[in-house]
Amino acid sequence: MTTPLLEITNLHASIEGKQILNGVNLTIMPGEVHSIMGPNGSGKSTLASVIAGHEAYEVTEGSILFNGIDLLELEADQRACAGVFLAFQYPVEIPGVSTKFFLKAAVNAIRKYRGQEELDAMDFLDMVEEKAKSVSLNIDLLDRNVNEGFSGGEKKRAEVFQMAMLDPLLGVLDETDSGLDIDALKIVADGVNQLRTQDRGFVIITHYQRLLDFIVPDFVHVLKDGVIVKSGDKSLALELEEKGYAGIEACKSECSCA
């Protein structure tokens, strides 16, 4: 039997004493794309942060296995090195640090962890050019400080570009589509689709089903008040769009996600 890429069991998490996740179960096999939808404040970004290892969140119960290893035992940087990538809903600015410099440090930290040789400046630039093309990212942007003065769309595109550079096993995209016009949306979706392989899995967090027209998910889950209340295939997204979250009936007992 194949080992799941990600196996979240009964995950409870809190921040500053406030309970946000109340028993999330989610299993992602290699090659699968799962979409997570849900109203504002339902805990989507929290789930993403907990997977990526943000220290401010406390896991109070449950487990996360990544390729069979206990992810909760690893620090955030080790998780990244092991192959977890998070495209941030709000990418952070780092004044005075050029994007290129930052990315080179990231690529080489990860390569070192994986026992690969560090890239020299030339090989790194070749890789930058190739990957930037895949999301039509203007290379000049990379001489600017990390996310500083980037437009909303540029920030999102830069996140997908970074994902391509870092070659993760699991990509978690937190509202990478929000604030994008339709052309930008297509470019971002195309960038993600190019990264779909039979080994790599994705968690796509979104509010809108329109992204899912371009990145077609294998499963759709609805997160509400920190639990997955319903799971289905792509048609669930359409149903949500039509009826809204309020119209979604909670899962019946025969559904595995409750």
Ligand X SMILES: Nc1ncnc2c1ncn2[C@@H]1O[C@H](COP(=O)(O)OP(=O)(O)O)[C@@H](O)[C@H]1O
Residues that bind other proteins (CB under 8 A): 49, 52-56, 75-77, 79-81, 85-86, 88, 91-92, 94-97, 101-103, 105-107, 109-110, 113, 145, 162, 166
The residue ranges that bind Mg ion (CB under 5 A) are 44-45, 89
Compare residues 34 and 155 and give the one whose CB is closer to other proteins: 155
Q: How far is the CB of 162 from other proteins (least distance, A)?
A: 7
Compare residues 102 and 245 and give the one whose CB is closer to other proteins: 102
Cα–Cα distance, 166 to 81 (Å, whole number) = 9
Contact 157, 192 (CB under 8 A): no
Residue 57 tokens read as 């969140």
Residue 85 interacting entry, from ligand X, other proteins, Mg ion, none, C-beta within 5 to 8 Å by type: other proteins
Query: Residue type for 196, please?
Result: R
DSSP state of 151: -
Q: Between vectors from CA 67 to CA 76 and to CA 233, what angle results, nearest 5°?
A: 100
Compare residues 43 and 191 and give the one whose CB is closer to ligand X: 43
Alpha helices in the chain (DSSP H): 44-52, 76-82, 99-113, 121-134, 152-166, 182-195, 210-214, 234-243
Compare residues 94 and 127 and give the one whose CB is closer to other proteins: 94
Q: How far is the CB of 21 from Mg ion (least distance, A)?
A: 13
Compare residues 169 and 257 and give the one whose CB is closer to ligand X: 257
Q: How far is the CB of 72 from other proteins (least distance, A)?
A: 15
Identify the CA nearest to 236 among candidates 31, 38, 4. 38
Q: How far is the CB of 240 from ligand X (least distance, A)?
A: 14
> Which residues face 220 on adjacent strands?
35, 232
